[in-house]
Structures are given as C-alpha cells and as structure tokens.
Structure 1
Amino acid sequence: MKYLAPKQAWAYLQAHPDTVFVDVRMELEHLYVGHPPGIVHIPWYEYPEMVPQPERFVQQVLREAGTHERPVMLLCRSGNRTEPAGVALEAAGFREVLSVLHGFEGELDADFHRNTLNGWRHDGLPWQQM
C-alpha cells in the first residue's frame, strides 16, 4: 500500500482519473461530515454493528473498479480504517492500493479536535456536505 498526504493524493487523482476513490467511513460520516466530490462510498463497517466485513467490502470495490488492475485510493476520517481495508484489497489481488494519510478530518490536536493539524479538509481540498 502506498501512503499519500492529502495534497499528494489530490495530485495523483488528477494525474490518474481512472483511479477508484473510495470513502470507507460510515454513511453518516460520509453524508454529514462531508466528502470529496465524486468519491465512491463503500463503508469498511457500518453502524450499529461496527464490525468490518472484508469480503463484502472487497466485492463492492471490485464491482466498482471492474478489475484488480485499476488503482484504488482509500479515505477515512483519520487514516486508521484505510489500513485494514487496504490490506484486504491487496490480499484479494488489487495491484495498486493507496491510502490518504490523516484522512478527511485529520489527527487529533492537544484539545482533541480534528481539522486543525492535517487532513483533506484542513488542506483546503475540494469537499462537499449534505
């Protein structure tokens, strides 16, 4: 798996428009916290179970990608969920899996707030909210 800072990820997406960009967060996060435009929402786990279903996730990504050869970029809240999701994709044969470091909201600061240190939104990249 390759790890890209948000601005590097944005540049990669511009240079590789065939990349499947996947938001692995729960539906509520995707809709109400916000997401990059054009991202595909395939949750790693969902509320209320909060239990990953790797086989379901891989099959949904494969259905979206159409082939294991297509690059897949993963985004979550802070970068933690993309790790196991990416490992599952690589184990299933995906050739190029990328993870956005610090995710959409970024790491926690000293006051336990997000969006203040790093992350997709912090870096001023395109996003939308319901």
Structure 2
Amino acid sequence: MDSSTYYTALGYNCRSNSGAENIMKHLTPKEAAKFLHDNPSALFVDCRSEMEFFFVGHPAGVSHVSWNDGPDWEINPHFVGEVRKLAGHSGDRPVVLICRSGNRSVDAGHALEAVGFTRVYNVLHGFEGELDDTHHRGSMNGWRFEGLPWEQC
C-alpha cells in the first residue's frame, strides 16, 4: 500500500491545499545544508528509526520523527501529525527530510505532500550514504561523508 492510500485509510484528506500536484525537490547534502542556512524557518526532520538516530548519529539541530521503527517496521501512523505539529500546522513551511540513504525520506515526503505540504525536500544519499562495492556506507556520499555538522548520543 502506498503512503497516500495508507493515509487516506487513516482518514486524511490526501489532496494538495493548492489543487496542484506537489513535486518533491531533491537536494544533495551540501545543497540541503545551504538551503537550511538560507531558510532558517525550514523544518529539518530525520525520519530514521530511534536506534539509527541515537546510535549512528544525526545532523546537528535536526528534529526526529520516525517514518517507521522496529521491531515491526510498520509506517508510523502519527508521522504526519507529528510533523504538522513541528511545522506549526503550516503546510507552506519548508520541510527537509533525511533518512539513512535517501529512500525512506522519499516515502515520508510523499505522505506529507498527500496531506497538503507544498514545500517538501529530500536529502539525496541521506545521512550515511549509498553502499559502496564492499557493502559499506559512508565512503561515497551522504551528510556525514560530506563533513557536515552531526552529533551522536
């Protein structure tokens, strides 16, 4: 089931506020860092699991709302509501999403667009980046690879 269908099943109105189709924009980690610097009102959300967020590390200053989490890895039915609350109930506030490698954040972004968020951005390659030829992350791309500010709990 795709995100829009899931959120429709939960009772959300999955139409854009403007009536126009939203198109998520994709930013490299460095572009995202510049965008966040240039747009201080933007909301930066890490949508990885709680374990990833705390133990692997996360961008400095990011808010955390899991898109899905263990042990069952089902989509968090409160994701949209939690992001809405952080955004001050404004669908026009820019929301920048990051996950491990840039995939979950796309699904999370589609869910936000489905309920009317109009300025959604995905961080390509995420926090850890893509797998290299030896199946390791962090050696080719990603927020941490680019040397951008991050912290670990």
The reply to whether TM is greater than 0.5 is yes
Q: How many pairs were matched up?
A: 129
- Within 5 Å, which residues of 2 pair with 1:69-80? 69-80=92-103
Identify the residue that residue 17 of structure 2 maps to in structure 1. Answer: none
Secondary structure of 1:10's match? helix
Letter in 2 for 1:63: K
Report how far residue 37 of structure 1 moved.
Answer: 1.2
Report how far residue 56 of structure 1 moved.
Answer: 1.2
Identify the residue that residue 137 of structure 2 maps to in structure 1. Answer: 114
Report how far residue 49 of structure 1 moved.
Answer: 1.5
| C-alpha distance in structure 2 between counterparts of 1:35 and 1:18, whole Å | 19
1:3 aligns with 2:35: no
| RMSD of aligned residue pairs (Cα, Å) | 0.7
Deviations 1:52-96 (A, max 9, x none): 13x411100000001111000000000010111000000010010
Secondary structure of 2:150's match? coil
Letter in 2 for 1:65: A
Report how far residue 16 of structure 1 moved.
Answer: 0.2
Report how far residue 38 of structure 1 moved.
Answer: 1.1
Report how far residue 27 of structure 1 moved.
Answer: 0.5
1:95 aligns with 2:118: yes
The two structures have a TM-score, normalised by structure 1, of: 0.97
Runs of 4+ residues deviating >3 angstroms: none
Secondary structure of 1:98's match? strand
Report how far residue 98 of structure 1 moved.
Answer: 0.2
Stretches of structure 2 that go unaligned for 5 or more consecutive residues are 1-23
1:123 aligns with 2:146: yes
| C-alpha distance in structure 2 between counterparts of 1:50 and 1:91, whole Å | 21
